[in-house]
Amino acid sequence: MKDLSNENVIYVKKDGLEYIQFRKLLEYKNVVHCFTLKPLDFASNATYEGKRKEVQSNFRTLGEEFNFDVKNICRPKQTHTDRVEKIENGDEGIYIQKFDNVDGLVTKEKNKVLMLGFADCTPLLFYDPVENVIANTHSGWKGTLQSIGVRTVEKMQKEYGCEPKNIICCIGPHIRKCHFEVEKDVKDLFYKEFKNLSNIEEIITYQPEDEKYFIDTTEINKQILKKAGLKEENIIDSNICTVCNSDICHSFRAEKEQSGRSVSIIELI
């Protein structure tokens, strides 16, 4: 059996439910979190209605595993923006209109299950143990280009007085540089935005035989979060590529329109 466990994450498989958790976040007994794997599918914006019964059943499976009420799930309609919004009492629900076009959630309210969907994009789970604040962010390539991870840190600062030096950020499974192959137009966007990063020539590389570029969005996120004030030791990478592991990770690059969705969740209890 494949085991995705490494020094930063543990891989759990039981009763048809598979997920990973970060060893660092497991140190905090008041934080519940995970990133789900196949076979569970939580559907995309486009497929949610058609898969509603299956997804609701999967919500209940997660709720039983992590002891939360599915009524407390907060899932926005993600559209690759840089919008990060605060969750308060009364904001619970799946795709409620207030959270259309939102790709990051932050809260210090207990029993709010912050949930986002993924199929190659980068999950960023944040926790500030000093202010007891959590955040969940969807950083696809467009979100990374807009530095949504930094926007999340700024939101935690603005809303709750968090200090970046105290914030932990866990980077979940996503498409890594080995498979994030792009054309020149996307390469140019990244180069223009991040050309001042010290190792940009290593972050963006060219493969002349097929005239493709490869971009290391993981390294970009690490560097911009450090510039935002996070400590290097508090930026924790799962080191898992969803495309390399598409047998157990939902991957749009590998499966195209047939791809399902994983979710990342984080909750204060």
CATH of the domain at 49: 3.60.140.10
Say which DSSP state 103 is in: -
**Looking at the domain assignment, is residue 142 inside a domain?**
yes
**Which pLDDT band, with edges at 50, 70 and 90, does 239 fall under?**
very high
- Structural domain contains residue 159: yes
Query: How many domains, the chain?
Result: 1
The C-alpha angle 148, 168, 41, rounded to 5 degrees, equals 65
Q: Which of 34, 99, 107, 114 is nearest to 66 (CA)?
A: 34
Instruction: Give the tens place of pLDDT for each residue, 23-35.
Output: 999 999 999 999 9
Q: What is the pTM of this model?
A: 0.97
Does residue 147 form part of some domain?
A: yes
How confident is the model over 200-238, as pLDDT tens digits?
Answer: 999 999 999 888 999 999 999 999 999 999 999 999 999
Q: Identify whether the C-beta of residue 251 lies closer than 8 Å to the C-beta of residue 119.
A: yes
Residue 92 domain-assigned (yes or no): yes
Cβ contact 112:92 at 8 Å: yes
Note whether residue 55 is domain-resident. yes
- Take residue 37 and report the two structure tokens written for it: 């794997």
- For residues 110-114, give the mean pLDDT: 98
Tell me the residue range of the domain where 253 lies: 9-175+237-268
Band the pLDDT of 2: cuts 50, 70, 90. Answer: confident
* Rounded Cα distance, 67 and 45, in Å: 26
- The encoded tokens of residue 55 equal 């997804």
